[in-house]
Structure formats: C-alpha cells, structure tokens
Amino acid sequence: MSKEIITNVKYQEWFAKRFTVTTFENEMKWYSTEWTQGHEDYTVPDAMLRFARSHGIAVRGHNVFWDDPSTQLGWVKALSGDQLRAATANRMRSVMSRYAGKVIAWDVVNENLHFDFFEEKFGAGASAAFYQKAHGMDGGALMSMNDFNTLEQPGDQNGLPAKYLNKLSQIKDAFPGNGIGVRMAIGLEGHFGATPNIPYVRAALDTLSQAGVPIWLTEIDVQRGPDQAYHLEQVLREVYSHPAVHGIVLWTAWHPQGCYVMCLTDDNFNNLPVGDTVDKLIAEWKTSSHVGVADADGHYEAELFHGDYQVTVTHPAAAANSTVVQSLSVDRESDNEYTIHV
C-alpha cells in the first residue's frame, strides 16, 4: 500500500476488508526516511503501520538496504568507506529498533542477486554481515532475501533459482552456529510479463523449496494486456497451491496518478477486472463456518486450508449441553490430528 491510504477513507475501507498482510511501497526505504543525512523522518511509515495494526494487517519490512546503485541518495554515494559503514550502522539501528517486533519479515538487502552496491564498498560478505546484524536486532522476524526474475524470466542468468539458492546459502552459512538459518525466508517479487510461463514458475518453486525455508511472493503484478486478469489468476493459483509458499503480496499500491504496473481498482475504488479476480480467489480460499457431526467413536474429519481455527464442540447428551471451545492451527509441520475432550 502507498502513503495515500493515510488520508483516503475509501482506500482504507477497500483495503482493510480484503487483506491480512501488506508491504509499504517506498515509505520505509532509506531514501524516504533520511533524505538528508542526519535528518530522519518516520512520520509516514509510522502512520501506515498504525493503520495496518489497527485492522489486524501484518506488515513486511521493506526494506533496510537496497543493493541497486540507482536507488542510493547522493549523500550516500559521496561517503567514504568508514563514513558509509557508520551511516549503514545508523540506518539499520534506526529503522529496525523502531519497528522490531512490529513487522513479520525484513527485506534486509533488497535485490542483492542483481546488484552489489554494498558488496563493492564492503566486500563479498556485505549482505551476510547485514543479515547477521539484522537478525540480532529482530530475531522474531523472518530475514528475507528479496529479488526479481527468479520466477518471471527463465532467460535472466542473474536470477536463476540455482544462483538464488547459492546466495541464500552464503548468507545462512555466515550466521554463527548455522541454527539462525531457520529464520531466513525466500522473497520472490513476481513482476510478470503479459504471458507468464506457468510451467517454469512451478519448476522454479520446486527447486527453491529444497532450501527448506518459507517462500513468499512479495510483489506480484502482471503487465497490462487484454488477458491480464486471466494471467494474474493463473499466477496466483499456481503459487498458492505450492506447499512451500507461505504468503502472497501484490504490488498494486494505489496513487492518484496510477499504479506501478497493475491497479486493482479505479480511482473511486471500484474493482477493475484484476480486482474482481483477487476478490474471487480470496473468497474461494477462505474457510467459512462449518458444521458437522462426529461418528459413534467421536471422530470427525474435515479438509481445511492451512491457518488458525476456532472449534466449538457440543455434546448434546451431556448435562446442559456441555460445550468446549478450542483454538487450533493447521499447518504442514503438524500431524493435524487433535483431541478435544467434552
């Protein structure tokens, strides 16, 4: 979502009734919070975070650093080596201490497969060092390695799944004891052309899942075209169905002047065809209220999506219709068999 959500009530209402997780488009990035060295301003991301938390919407921290040289402010580029070390240490301390415990993940060094601004300045281990420090500052959040074209473009040699896994391994191995590696996550942007290559998407996800860490689709959009909504649905169904994928974020932040590539609504927040597709899938993938009767042995089976549930069990033969309410989670790690005593 974009900063326009702070003051646009229609945007707020449309967004809050649909989504459970969000990423800020630019507002948390270094070039947005410290335009001039030493003068930090978190007013906008603070307000966006308050809005998200007030509606139970989780936030991904995007991002601490960005390895693309073109995204560095002039004052950052002008720093000497020692000055840059001090500036990056301050940046990490500033943004992460402010939002630690309030975000579910951090894109620590964005797009470090394709770019190497900090590696050129600090050496090949720059990303690993940043991730190690970031984990120490917010150990409860996933440390995400976010990049593009690993799913979208089979021809991009810099974004190949094998190269992604190699970079991920380098970062994980730099953590002391290797145990910290479980807090890593794979972030795949997903900026697709007009005709996504779905078989390649599936093969790439299969390859990446070998890392054994959560995979997030972090910036999904599909280029404009007559079949944009159809191809968006293809992509979303494919990634949602993969067991290694833990979450999906769409790169569709609204602005009065338009969106990056793909808008879900018009300026009055009436859905466009791609917005209708998203709403359809959200409705399909939600588990609605369900009622059933256990067999004579007290067994009951149900097919459920991964997620958190509240189960109410009533025994009509017991005194005063004895009722038990229990919360449970269904995920790939559990055996998904529960015993509830009534």
- Angle, helices 228-240 vs 198-208, to 10°: value is 30
Q: Beta strands of the chain (E only): which ranges?
A: 21-23, 58-66, 105-110, 142-147, 184-188, 191-192, 215-222, 245-250, 307-315, 322-330
Task: Determine the straight-line distance between the first and last CA of the chain, rounded to whole angstroms.
Answer: 45
The contacts of residue 273 (CB under 8 Å, 6+ apart) are 228, 229
Tokens of 337: 């068999």
Q: What's the rounded Cα separation, in Å, for the pair 208 and 9?
A: 40
Phi first, then psi, for residue 63 (nearest 5°) are -135, 170
Residue 117 is given by DSSP the state: H
Q: Can 25 be counted among the known catalytic residues?
A: no
Q: What's the rounded Cα separation, in Å, for the pair 78 and 72?
A: 10
Residue 82: C-alpha distances to residues 71, 79, 303 (Å) = 20, 8, 57
Q: Can 189 be counted among the known catalytic residues?
A: no
Sign, CA torsion 80/85/89/95:
positive
Residue 246: C-alpha distances to residues 167, 221, 234 (Å) = 21, 18, 18
Catalytic residue among 25, 219, 233, 238: 219
Q: Is 111 left (phi over 0), alpha (psi -120 to 50) or beta?
A: left
Tokens of 128: 């690993």
Catalytic residue among 25, 27, 34, 111: 111
Q: Do the bridges between strand 184-188 and strand 191-192 make them parallel or antiparallel, or are there none, so unpaired?
A: unpaired
Q: Which residues are catalytic?
A: 111, 219
